[in-house]
C-alpha cells in the first residue's frame, strides 16, 4: 500500500504509564502494519516510560498536557492537532481520553471516531455515564477486552451493539532475561525454602489487597512456610502497611513497591493472587498464566473471561478470604493439580491471547469502520 493510501490512525490515551490499557495501546501501535497504517499516539495528560518504546518503534507521540478535570485549553489544543493531522480514525482509550478525544474528533470532523472501555467501572457517577451515553450515540463504536465490560455498560444504557470485543494480547516471554529461583528470592529478601505467593498491581482499594493480606496471614499461621509479596505502588501503600502491622502479618507480607524485574520474578511464584473488586481483562493474570504460575482470582466479570474455574485457574467468591486460604493451602501441597492448571492455562494464552491476534483484530475493525 502506498504512503498516500495508508490509513491515518490517531490513538489517544491519558498517560503512557505502565498500566494495563497503556501496555495494550503500546503493543497495538508498535504492531500495526506500517505499510497499511500511519499511526500517531496522542497523550492527553502526561507521558511515561512507554513513550520511549513507541518512539523507538517509529511511532509518533504528541503530549497535550491537560492540567485539570475540566481543561478547555487542552481540549482546544487537541482539537487543533486533530484538524491539522486529519486522521481517518481516532481511537480513544479510558474515560478522560474518551471524553476529550471523541468530542474533539467530532468537532474536527474526523471520519471515524471510536472509544475503548477497558474495565467494569462502578466508580462512574451520573455525569460520567451521561458523557459516555452521549458520545456513544454520536460515534462509531467502542472496543473492549471483556464481555463483562459489555454487560456492565449495557446495564448503564449503552447498547451492547456499540461494542467490539478484542481480547488482550501479550508478547512471548524472553528466555534470555530469565533468572533462577535462588536469585529471585535473594532479590526479594525472602527465605529460599518458603512458598512464594505473589500479587502484582497498583495499590488501589479496587485491588482488594486487605483481603489478600488477611488470607496470607491465616495461611502463614497454618503452614509457617509462605511469604506473600506485593509488587506495585500507589495511594493505598501506607494504609496497607499499617493494616499488616495491626494484624501482625508484617513478618511475611512484603510490600516491595514497583519493580522493573517483576516479569523475571513472576515465574518463581508458587501462586498468584488477584483480589480485584472489579476488572476488565487483567494483564497480570495473562502474564502469570503464560509464565506457568497457578492463578487464584476473584469471581468477577473480566477475571471470568480469563480463568476457567478449576481448569485454567481458580475463581473464589469476592471477599471469601477463608476459601482463598484453604484452596491455596491444598494447591501448595498438590504438585500434580498445579501442573494440570498450568498446562491448560498456557494453552489458552497461546490460542487466544497473542499480540498478533490482538493487532490483526484491530486492523480488521479499523478497515470495517471505514467501509461503513
Residues 185 and 43: beta-carbon distance below 8 Å: no
User: What pLDDT, on the 0 to 100 scale, is given for residue 83?
Assistant: 98
Mean pLDDT of the region 127-150: 96
3-169+354-371 against 175-352: fold identical = yes
How does pLDDT run across 319-367, given as a tens digit for each residue? Answer: 999 999 999 999 999 999 999 999 999 999 999 999 999 999 999 999 9
pLDDT at 249 over 90: no
191 phi and psi angles, rounded to 5 deg = -65, 135
Please provide the average confidence, as pLDDT, over all residues in the chain: 95
Strand order of the β-sheet with 195-200 is 253-257, 226-231, 195-200, 271-274, 294-298, 314-316
pLDDT at 279: 87
* pLDDT for 3 beyond 80: no
- Torsions phi, psi of 231, nearest 5? -100, 120
Summarize pLDDT for 18-45 with one digit per residue, the tens. Answer: 888 999 999 999 999 999 999 999 999 9
pLDDT at residue 74 is higher than 70: yes
DSSP structure class, residue 272: E
Tell me the CATH number of domain 3-169+354-371, given options 3.40.50.300, 1.20.1250.20, 3.40.50.2000, 3.40.50.80.
3.40.50.2000
13's grid cell: 490515551
Query: pLDDT for 188-245, tens place per residue?
Result: 999 999 999 999 999 999 999 999 999 999 999 999 999 999 999 999 999 999 999 8
Q: Which of 33-37, 94-98, 299-303, 322-326 has the lowest mean pLDDT?
A: 299-303
pTM over cut 0.85: yes
Give 218-230 as a 3 state SS string. HHHHHHCCEEEEE
Residue 245: CB atoms within 10 Å: 12
3-state secondary structure of 243: helix
Separation between Cα atoms, residue 228 and residue 185, nearest integer Å: 12
Whether 296 shows a pLDDT value over 70: the answer reads: yes
Indicate the helix (H) or strand (E) that contains 156: none
**pLDDT at res. 2:** 43
Grid coordinates belonging to 78: 487537541
2/346 Cα distance (integer angstroms): 39
Q: Where in the chain are the domains? A: 3-169+354-371, 175-352
For residues 280-290, give the mean pLDDT.
94
**pLDDT tens readout for residues 55-64:** 999 999 999 9
- Rounded to 10 deg, the angle between the 95-107 and 72-85 helix axes is 60
Tens of pLDDT along 255-277? 999 999 999 999 999 999 999 99
CATH class for the region spanning 175-352: alpha beta
Provide the pLDDT confidence category of residue 1 given band limits of 50, 70 and 90.
Answer: very low
Percent of the chain with pLDDT over 70: 98
When pLDDT is cut at 50, 70 and 90, the band that residue 5 belongs to is confident
Amino acid at each position: 500500500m502506498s504512503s498516500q493510501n495508508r490509513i491515518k490512525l490517531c490513538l489517544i490515551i491519558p498517560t503512557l504509564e505502565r498500566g494495563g490499557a497503556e501496555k495494550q495501546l503500546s503493543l497495538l501501535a508498535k504492531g500495526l502494519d506500517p505499510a497499511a497504517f500511519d499511526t500517531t499516539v496522542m497523550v492527553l495528560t502526561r507521558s511515561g516510560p512507554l513513550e520511549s518504546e513507541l518512539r523507538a518503534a517509529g511511532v509518533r507521540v504528541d503530549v497535550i498536557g491537560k492540567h485539570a478535570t475540566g481543561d478547555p485549553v487542552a481540549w482546544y489544543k487537541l482539537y487543533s492537532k486533530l484538524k491539522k493531522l486529519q486522521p481517518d480514525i481516532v481511537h480513544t482509550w479510558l474515560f478522560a481520553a474518551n471524553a476529550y478525544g471523541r468530542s474533539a474528533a467530532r468537532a474536527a470532523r474526523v471520519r471515524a471516531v471510536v472509544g475503548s472501555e477497558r474495565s467494569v467501572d462502578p466508580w462512574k457517577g451520573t455525569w460520567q455515564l451521561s458523557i459516555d451515553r452521549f458520545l456513544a450515540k454520536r460515534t462509531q463504536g467502542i472496543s473492549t477486552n471483556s464481555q463483562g465490560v459489555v454487560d456492565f455498560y449495557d446495564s448503564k444504557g449503552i447498547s451492547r451493539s456499540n461494542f467490539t470485543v478484542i481480547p488482550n494480547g501479550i508478547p512471548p516471554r524472553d528466555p534470555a532475561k530469565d533468572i533462577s529461583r535462588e536469585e529471585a528470592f535473594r532479590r526479594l529478601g525472602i527465605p529460599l525454602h518458603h512458598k512464594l505467593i505473589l500479587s502484582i498491581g497498583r495499590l488501589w482499594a479496587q485491588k482488594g489487597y486487605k483481603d489478600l493480606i488477611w488470607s496470607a496471614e491465616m495461611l502463614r499461621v497454618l503452614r509457617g512456610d509462605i511469604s506473600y509479596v506485593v509488587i506495585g505502588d500507589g495511594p493505598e501503600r501506607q494504609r496497607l502497611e499499617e493494616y499488616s502491622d495491626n494484624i501482625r502479618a508484617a513478618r511475611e507480607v512484603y510490600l516491595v513497591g514497583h519493580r522493573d524485574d517483576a516479569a523475571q520474578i513472576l515465574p518463581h511464584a508458587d501462586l498468584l493472587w488477584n483480589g480485584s473488586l472489579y476488572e476488565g481483562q487483567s494483564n497480570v493474570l495473562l502474564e502469570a498464566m503464560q509464565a506457568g504460575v497457578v492463578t487464584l482470582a476473584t469471581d468477577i466479570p473480566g477475571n471470568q473471561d480469563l480463568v476457567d474455574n478449576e481448569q485454567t485457574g481458580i475463581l473464589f467468591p469476592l471477599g471469601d478470604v477463608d476459601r482463598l486460604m484453604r484452596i491455596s493451602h491444598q494447591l501448595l501441597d498438590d504438585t500434580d493439580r498445579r501442573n494440570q492448571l498450568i498446562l491448560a492455562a498456557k494453552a489458552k494464552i497461546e490460542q487466544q491471547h497473542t499480540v498478533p491476534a490482538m493487532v490483526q483484530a484491530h486492523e480488521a475493525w479499523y478497515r470495517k469502520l471505514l467501509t461503513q
